[in-house]
Homo-oligomer: A and B are copies of this chain.
């Protein structure tokens, strides 16, 4: 049996949450994984310049930086803080050598910030929150373009529409991206978030045709839903996503980039990282990689 082709596999560092950046780099190299999707918290721990050097010296690509966003605040202070944080994230992406900055745009002001507990009451105007996201993407686009970094809009599963992201479908993200150059505003297809969408095939093709398909992230939709739905993601093959079909659509759309495995799952986080990487590589090789070639 020939060795599995891992040449387009990228380990998103959220999958090995307990590893430092150094450990993730060593683990990826040992597992034959040639790229990393970096989260900003791991980068900040290591220090930006040092993080960039560690990854570069290990010969790894950076497939994306996760994440900017949280752009929905209705007040001026919230708006200014979000814009400043996203400009910093753009700079970090450039320093790390990736063009793709993934944005989770934030939920309703009535709900929560990135880490706060949900609570009802307050502003439930979803239409207005979405309009604010569009305005702030426009405000960030110039700095992104000047930095050669792309703002990558992530549609999140509608289960998160209240508290994490008012962008819920790929069509919506592409409509929002339309006024901007494809090198400046793109989209990511994360199977967990979009696998259910009856419009997915058409919108993946559209993303490819428009040159906006910036990232492909894979993990499964597990049931029952975890108590914290954010952590309900599984290894490909453990849930209900049809990876052959969706990966084929992504390939048909002309995507030739890295494929990130990004899993939030307490049980997986509690397991040894090397064992997690072995499963990631095996599932990718079995369920995803064969469908990347059309």
The CA of A179 and the CA of B199, in the complex, are separated in Å by 19
Contact partners of A225 in chain B: CB under 8 A: 159, 225, 229
The answer to whether A82 has its CB under 8 Å from any CB of chain B is no
Contact partners of A223 in chain B: CB under 8 A: 111, 118, 120, 162-163
The CA of A240 and the CA of B222, in the complex, are separated in Å by 25
Asked if A197 meets B162 with Cβ closer than 8 Å, knowing A242-B124, A245-B125, the reply is no
- Choose one: B130, B198, B228; the contact of A130 (CB below 8 Å): B198
Are A240 and B196 touching (Cβ within 8 A)? no
Contact partners of A158 in chain B: CB under 8 A: 157-159, 196-197
Per-position contact with B for A157-194: 1 when CB-CB < 8 Å, else 0?
Answer: 11101110001110110000000000000000000000
Tell me if A's interface is mostly helix, strand, loop or mixed: loop
Contact partners of A169 in chain B: CB under 8 A: 197-199
The CA of A290 and the CA of B272, in the complex, are separated in Å by 57
Min CB gap A267→B, angstroms: 15
Are B157 and A240 touching (Cβ within 8 A)? no
The CA of A177 and the CA of B222, in the complex, are separated in Å by 30
The answer to whether A126 has its CB under 8 Å from any CB of chain B is yes
Contact partners of A221 in chain B: CB under 8 A: 162
The answer to whether A110 has its CB under 8 Å from any CB of chain B is yes
Are B198 and A240 touching (Cβ within 8 A)? no
Are A110 and B245 touching (Cβ within 8 A)? no
The CA of A269 and the CA of B40, in the complex, are separated in Å by 44
Contact partners of A139 in chain B: CB under 8 A: none
Contact partners of A111 in chain B: CB under 8 A: 223, 240
Min CB gap A74→B, angstroms: 14
The CA of A242 and the CA of B229, in the complex, are separated in Å by 22
The CA of A221 and the CA of B227, in the complex, are separated in Å by 16
The answer to whether A241 has its CB under 8 Å from any CB of chain B is yes
The answer to whether A108 has its CB under 8 Å from any CB of chain B is yes
Residue of A167, A172, A227, A242 with highest tally of chain B CB at under 10 A: A242
Contact partners of A241 in chain B: CB under 8 A: 124
The answer to whether A127 has its CB under 8 Å from any CB of chain B is yes
Contact partners of A196 in chain B: CB under 8 A: 126, 158, 161-162, 168
The answer to whether A41 has its CB under 8 Å from any CB of chain B is no
Q: List 6 A-B contacts (CB under 8 A).
A: A108-B240, A118-B223, A126-B245, A130-B198, A159-B225, A162-B196
Closest 8 CB pairs of A and B: A161-B196, A118-B223, A162-B240, A172-B198, A158-B196, A124-B242, A159-B159, A158-B158
